Amino acid sequence: MSVDAATAEGVRSTIARYAQALDDGRTDDLVATFCPDGVCELPGFGTFTGHAEIAEAFARWRPVKPQRHLVANTALAARSVDEVDAVSDLVFTVLDKGAWSIVMVGRYHDTFRRVGDQWLIARRATRFEGDS
């Protein structure tokens, strides 16, 4: 099922808000991009379900130096009028000693759910290149 322009913009806006909140260490704003029962899977770190678990996990990982999660090539597919799957490429960079370095490359495998007038993350499974 195809995704209309308004839905695509809503999903991409949530992806951007997540990345910017993560890079800025704004845990509450990051958590707000998830559904209340949302799930976040991070290889090597665990699976976190619900706002409280997601907040607790990300509060421990606040950035200690400038970082950027660059998200691109997002492909969307509608599951229904209220659910959309998205797969996005991810490049994670960190500024160290005056130079930006790529730390890891991967993909987000997401399911978004319409909640009111927003598209929120129902499930995010991050996969890093080199992971089995």
pLDDT digits (tens, 9 = 90+) for 17-43: 999 999 999 999 999 999 999 999 999
Amino acid 3: pLDDT: 94
pLDDT digits (tens, 9 = 90+) for 52-95: 999 999 999 999 999 999 999 999 999 999 999 999 999 999 99
Sequence letter at residue 81: V
pLDDT classification of 15: cutoffs 50, 70, 90: very high
Phi, psi (rounded to 5 degrees) for 16 = -65, -45
Amino acid 36: pLDDT: 98
pTM of this structure: 0.95
Amino acid 131: pLDDT: 56
